[in-house]
A = this chain, B = another copy of it.
Amino acid sequence: MTPAPTGPLTGVVPPVCTPLTPDLEVDVPSLERLVDHLVGAGVDGLFVLGSTSEVAFLPDAHRRTVLETVVKHVAGRVPVLGGAIDMTTLRVIEHARVAAEVGCDGVVATAPFYTRTHPAEIERHLRDVAAAVPVPVYAYDLPVSVHSKLDGGMLLRLASEGVLAGVKDSSGDDGAMRALMLALRDAGADRFSVLTGAELTVDAAFAMGVDGVVPGLGNVDPAGYVRLRRHCLDGRWDEARAEQERLLRLFGIVDAGAPDRMGRGSSALGSFKAALHLLGIIDHPVTAPPQIPLNEAETDHIRTRLTDAGLL
A residues at B contact (CB < 8 Å): 24, 51, 56-60, 62, 85, 87-91, 94, 112-118, 120-122, 124-125, 128, 144-147, 172-175, 178-179, 182, 198-201, 203-205, 207-209, 235, 237, 241, 245, 248-249, 251, 260-266, 288-292
Contact = CB atoms under 8 A, between A and B. Distances in A.
Contacts of A205: 204
B249 A115 contact: no
Nearest to A174: B201
Contacts of A114: 56, 85, 113-114, 145-146
A169 to B, nearest CB: 13
Could you say which of A91, A115, A175, A288 has the most chain B C-beta atoms within 10 Å of its C-beta? A115
Contacts of A249: 182
A204 B174 contact: yes
Contact of A178 (B172, B179, B200): B200
Contacts of A113: 113-114
A198 B182 contact: no
Given A116-B263, A291-B121, A199 B182 contact: no
Contact of A121 (B173, B208, B248, B262): B262
A90 to B, nearest CB: 5
Contacts of A118: 261-263, 266, 292
A198 B174 contact: yes
A88 B201 contact: no
Contacts of A266: 118, 121
Contacts of A57: 87-91, 115
B200 A175 contact: yes
A186 B26 CA distance: 40
A289 B124 contact: yes
21 contacts: A56-B88, A56-B112, A56-B115, A57-B90, A59-B91, A59-B94, A85-B114, A88-B288, A116-B145, A116-B265, A118-B261, A118-B262, A118-B266, A120-B262, A120-B292, A121-B266, A128-B290, A174-B174, A174-B198, A182-B248, A204-B208
